[in-house]
Amino acid sequence: MADSETRRYERIEIELPCRLYVPGAGEELRFEAFCTSRNLGLGGIFVASSFLLKRGLDLNVELSLPDGPLPIHAVVAHVVGLDDEEMQSGMGIQFLDVDAHGRETLLRYFTPVRYQSFYDTFVHEFPHLKKTVPLRDVSLVLNLWEEWKIRAEGGPMLTASGAPPSVGRSGRAPSAPARPVGRGKK
What pLDDT, on a 0 to 100 scale, did the predictor assign at position 47? 95
Asked if 82 contacts 68 with a C-beta cutoff of 8 angstroms, the reply is: no
Picking from 80, 69, 88, the residue whose alpha carbon sits closest to that of residue 19 is: 69
| Distance, CA of 114 to CA of 74 (rounded, Å) | 28
Cβ neighbors of 37 (< 8 A, separation 6 or more) are 14, 15, 16, 18, 45, 46, 47, 48, 63
Picking from 151, 163, 152, the residue whose alpha carbon sits closest to that of residue 99 is: 163
Find residue 91's DSSP bridge partners.
47, 79
- Domains of the chain by residue range: 1-186
Q: Quick: pLDDT tens for 97-150.
A: 888 899 999 999 889 999 999 999 999 999 999 999 999 999 999 999 988 888
- Looking at the predicted structure, is the pLDDT value of residue 161 above 60? no
Band of residue 10 on the pLDDT scale cut at 50, 70, 90: confident
What pLDDT, on a 0 to 100 scale, did the predictor assign at position 172? 40
| Distance, CA of 104 to CA of 19 (rounded, Å) | 20
Picking from 60, 80, 128, 71, the residue whose alpha carbon sits closest to that of residue 102 is: 71
Q: Quick: pLDDT tens for 53-92.
A: 999 999 999 999 988 999 999 999 999 988 888 888 899 9
What pLDDT, on a 0 to 100 scale, did the predictor assign at position 86? 84
Mean pLDDT of 159-170: 37
What pLDDT, on a 0 to 100 scale, did the predictor assign at position 164? 37
Asked if 120 contacts 133 with a C-beta cutoff of 8 angstroms, the reply is: no
- Looking at the predicted structure, is the pLDDT value of residue 182 above 60? no
Number of neighbours of residue 48 by Cβ within 10 angstroms: 17
What's domain 1-186's architecture? Answer: Beta Barrel (2.40)
What pLDDT, on a 0 to 100 scale, did the predictor assign at position 42? 87
- Looking at the predicted structure, is the pLDDT value of residue 14 above 60? yes
- The model's pTM: 0.72
State phi, psi for 124 to the nearest 5 degrees: -70, -40
